[in-house]
Chains A and B, each alone.
Chain A
Amino acid sequence: MDLAQEVLGGNRLALARLLTQVENGTPQGLAALEALYPHTGKAQRIGVTGPPGTGKSSLVNQLALHLRRSDSPRRVAILAVDPTSPFTGGAILGDRVRMRDLSGDPGVFIRSMASRGSLGGLAAATSGLAAVLDAAGFDVILIETVGAGQAEVDIARLAHTVLVVEAPGLGDDIQAIKAGILEIADILVINKADQPGVEATERALLGMLQLAHPSPHIFRDERRHHHLPDLEPVGQVSYLPETAAKKAALQVSAQFDDWIPPVQRTVAIEGQGIAELATQIEKHAAHLHSNGGWERREAARLQSELDELLQQALIARWRQETPAAHYEAVLERLTRRMLSPWQAVKELLEGDRL
């Protein structure tokens, strides 16, 4: 029996091995992903991000416990990403230290991942691993990013609901209005809420939310050409010509714009605020389901994954078709400043091959 079939049959060792294959991008891993794809699309993906040391792992531990102890327990998978050393390629993956409460529960599966050079807070393979866990029948996938600062926002593309975890005493109200990590929050969590300074942190976050113009949280990839039709804020759409697309945008955005991220205090190591946080997550999921946001997030994610795969495939094909000597020759002329980088690209894509 192949790995994909064994995973569908509930074999945990096969699941662990397949996760490795997918993470390493092996042909077997990719073949299994293809076979499993029809079985995906059922799991709820919840992202947990925020600066290092705010208690993300402890919060994930408590959320998973809560989901397991509810009246209708849900099967929970956890993907926990920690950084890879840029110098040695090695990594210490330490998130399990905070998750010992979950051991021995067959309804939980925890997998640690190293970021392996990705800079967006996840690893390149995180989405693939989430797909495998989805196909394996986990109802909820909690995805914990590396300790993130201001720009590690890939989780907004992958998750249905993003929790940004802050703690008292980190930064002021200017930090709170910068673009980036706070902006992607569907729910803001102030963990370690028993620490001094919690009121100031809460004030800064609430102030930020009051300044914000509500916007649909569909991940916008600035590197792409083909954006999904943008959802303009209602006020601006009226300047556009009257089209079906505009009407649709109006309709969707009007329903979209009413989610204001709640601010939830927690003390994860004592389990305080966890039930309330779980309720907020369910409210957000219900909100997305009620207004088409769930499908739009899925579509935006799939489009950006498609574009990435396309880029990889195109560059691989181009490498196959282009003699290395031609590339070296162009590079040589570039470094001697006989060509600009833009001319070099043109030459490599269109010029005569040696």
Chain B
Amino acid sequence: MGEQKIRVLVAKPGLDGHDRGAKVVARALRDAGMEVIYTGLRQTPEMIAESALQEDVDAVGLSILSGAHMVLVPRVLDLLRTNGQSNVCVFLGGIIPDEDVPQLLALGVSGVYGPGTSTDQIVNDVRRLAADRQAGA
């Protein structure tokens, strides 16, 4: 019967209103055959975690340009863990200073993709991590 699809939530937490990058990534993942749940602007970490749970996604992509990533990202990771979704991979795009990257990766973020990253790289990474999750489920 049916087939297993990779499901990805793409969300924009925080207060900046620029979702061009998020849309580019969403479109690239779609063109790679994934089902992308797009939630729009100004999502709170609670809203993101709730959507991730209801949609049973394999991955969550967060686009943050406001500089609030060191507050928002740990909160999202905590909520996913609380909800029993610690196996969902979380990746970041937007404007993230280099010096913050090691700490974000240590927190459990699977990848940080700044401006200029090829969408192929994001697609390949998501595909690999989602396959790991689905195999472990």
Contacts and interface: CB of A to CB of B under 8 A. Distances in A.
Given A25-B2, A93-B38, A100-B40, A16 B47 contact: no
Contacts of A64: none
Given A25-B2, A97-B39, A103-B47, A12 B53 contact: yes
Contact of A90 (B3, B36, B39, B54): B36
Contacts of B33: 88-90
Given A97-B38, A103-B47, A116-B2, A88 B55 contact: no
Contact of B85 (A13, A85, A90): A13
Interface string B4-38: 11010000000000000000001101111111111
Contacts of A23: 2
Interface stretch (A104-112, A190-198, A237-245): A104-112
Contacts of B44: 103
Given A20-B56, A97-B38, A112-B37, A88 B2 contact: no
A277 B34 CA distance: 36
Contacts of A109: 54
A267 interface: no
A94 interface: yes
Contacts of B34: 90
A96 B36 contact: no
B130 to A, nearest CB: 12
A228 interface: no
B110 interface: no
Contacts of A26: 1-2
A26 B5 CA distance: 12
A116 to B, nearest CB: 7
Contacts of A12: 53-54
Contacts of A88: 30-33
Interface residues of A, number: 33
B55 A112 contact: yes
B115 interface: no
Contacts of B83: 13
Nearest to A84: B35
A16 B35 contact: no
A112 B34 CA distance: 13
Nearest to B137: A17
B29 A90 contact: yes
Contacts of B85: 13
Interface in B31-88: 31-40, 43-44, 46-47, 50-51, 53-56, 83-85
A91 B84 contact: no
Give the interface centre of B2, B36, B47, B85 by most chain A CB atoms within 10 Å.
B2
A91 B55 CA distance: 14
Contacts of B51: 96, 103, 110
Given A12-B54, A16-B56, A24-B4, A92 B26 contact: yes
Contacts of A24: 1-5
Contacts of A312: 1
Nearest to B52: A16
A19 interface: yes
Interface in A58-113: 84-85, 88-94, 96-97, 100, 103-104, 109-112
Closest 7 CB pairs of A and B: A25-B1, A25-B2, A90-B30, A97-B40, A16-B56, A89-B33, A24-B2
20 contacts: A12-B53, A12-B54, A13-B85, A24-B2, A25-B2, A84-B35, A88-B30, A89-B33, A90-B32, A90-B33, A94-B37, A94-B40, A96-B38, A103-B46, A110-B54, A111-B55, A112-B37, A116-B5, A124-B2, A312-B1
Given A23-B2, A96-B51, 10 more contacts: A12-B54, A17-B137, A24-B5, A26-B2, A88-B30, A88-B31, A90-B32, A92-B38, A104-B50, A110-B54
Interface of B: 1-5, 7, 26-27, 29-40, 43-44, 46-47, 50-51, 53-56, 83-85, 137
